[in-house]
């Protein structure tokens, strides 16, 4: 395994880029933790290796959006059981709804994914199990015109990585490093 911190930095960036683009990657669906200590699985949509920023999609009506707002401390936990690599990300998160980035993310999303934002707000109580989607949208892929009312419900969650805690589990001896955008250091596991 790595003995150089720049190799670790490159490994983190490679793993996150792959996780964002490959739905079969073990790190594609990390645990995202908001400042209220609530945790949930989310799909990593993009990792910007230049800016060290993670991008996720969420419903603008979701309670986590109010908690995160325009800036909040966040954590994201990734784990690859085959590689035995854990990444604990700490950073600052914020929500974007009416920005060029949010518009681009919406346009690049598949219609099946955009369909989710047609439904009722997350957490709405129901008398019986339900998707929350309108009856006409159940089981179909709506066309762009049908999805227009969903756009205001779509938001982007960005997390600026301030520090990545890289942990490699090995019977030969674990390795651990703290890596930030500008600096890195080895620490004991």
Label residue 64 by pLDDT band (50, 70, 90): very high
Mean pLDDT, the chain, as a whole number? 96
- CB of 109 closer than 8 Å to CB of 153: no
CA atoms lying within 13 Å on the CB side of residue 80: 21
Across residues 103-120, what is the average pLDDT?
96
Look up residue 68 and give its two tokens.
């995160």
Model pLDDT, residue 174:
96
Pairwise CA distance, residues 38 & 24, whole Å: 25
What is the mean predicted confidence (pLDDT) over 81-99? 98
Residues 88 and 167: beta-carbon distance below 8 Å = yes
pLDDT > 90? residue 1:
no
pLDDT of residue 177: 98
Backbone angles phi, psi at 109, to 5 degrees: -80, 145
In this prediction, residue 170 carries a pLDDT of: 94
| Rounded-to-integer distance, Cα 187 and Cα 189, Å | 6
Query: Is CATH 2.30.110.10 the classification given to domain 5-187?
Result: yes
Q: How many residues does the chain have?
A: 189
Q: What are the residue boundaries of the structural domains of the chain, listed by start? A: 5-187
Query: What's the pLDDT tens digit per position in 132-158?
Result: 999 999 999 999 999 999 999 999 999
Taking residues 97-114, report their average pLDDT. 97
Task: Tell me the C-alpha distance between 131 and 85, whole Å.
Answer: 35
């Amino acid at each position: 395994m790595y003995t150089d911190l720049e190799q670790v930095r490159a490994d983190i960036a490679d793993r996150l880029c792959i996780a964002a683009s490959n739905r079969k990657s073990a790190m594609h669906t990390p645990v995202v933790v908001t400042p209220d200590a609530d945790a949930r699985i989310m799909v990593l949509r993009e990792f910007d290796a230049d800016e060290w920023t993670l991008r996720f999609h969420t419903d603008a009506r979701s309670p986590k959006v109010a908690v995160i707002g325009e800036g909040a401390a966040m954590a994201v936990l990734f784990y690859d059981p085959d590689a035995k690599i854990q990444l604990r990300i700490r950073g600052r998160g914020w929500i974007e709804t009416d920005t060029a980035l949010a518009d681009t993310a919406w346009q690049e999303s598949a219609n099946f994914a955009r369909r989710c934002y047609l439904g009722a707000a997350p957490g709405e109580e129901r008398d019986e199990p339900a998707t929350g989607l309108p009856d006409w949208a159940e089981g179909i892929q709506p066309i762009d015109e049908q999805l227009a009312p969903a756009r205001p419900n779509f938001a982007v969650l960005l997390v600026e990585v301030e520090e990545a805690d890289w942990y490699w589990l090995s019977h030969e001896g674990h390795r651990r490093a703290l890596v930030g955008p500008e600096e890195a250091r080895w620490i004991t596991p």
